[in-house]
Amino acid sequence: MSKVALVQIGNTQLYVEKDKIYSIPKVNLEVGKKIDINQVLMIKDGDSVVYGRPYIENCIVTVEIISHDKDDKIVSRVYKAKSRYRRTRGFRKRLTKFKVVDIRY
């Protein structure tokens, strides 16, 4: 089993594994840029688990920003009976996709 790390990126915490692609709410970073994340809360390698207080020292997760996309559209509708009032709104959440390149501990 490979290493799994719990990282904090902005206001989002998620479990990451090497060579997998993840989506988070938009972060203003350049596409194609590699970033080192040192805010690692937990790391699991096989049966051993290490917890940080709050972060683990000397643990770095390297990620590569792949793209900035939009999520699927969420449609909300308002209808009021007997007044002929109808309203439809759409919203698409902005996302940042990244790939985990390396987990060093």
Give whole-number Cα distances, 11 to 1, 8, 87, in Å.
Answer: 28, 7, 32
Q: What local confidence, expressed as pLDDT, does residue 105 receive? A: 86
State residue 10's pLDDT score: 86
pTM for this entry: 0.81
| Dihedral, 55, 100, 13, 6 alpha carbons, nearest 10 | -50
State residue 1's pLDDT score. Answer: 59
Sequence-distant (6+) residues with CB within 8 A of 104 are: 59, 60, 61, 62
- Give the pLDDT of the chain (105 residues) as one tens digit per residue: 578 999 999 889 999 999 999 999 999 999 999 999 999 999 999 899 999 999 999 999 999 999 999 999 999 999 999 999 999 999 999 999 999 999 998
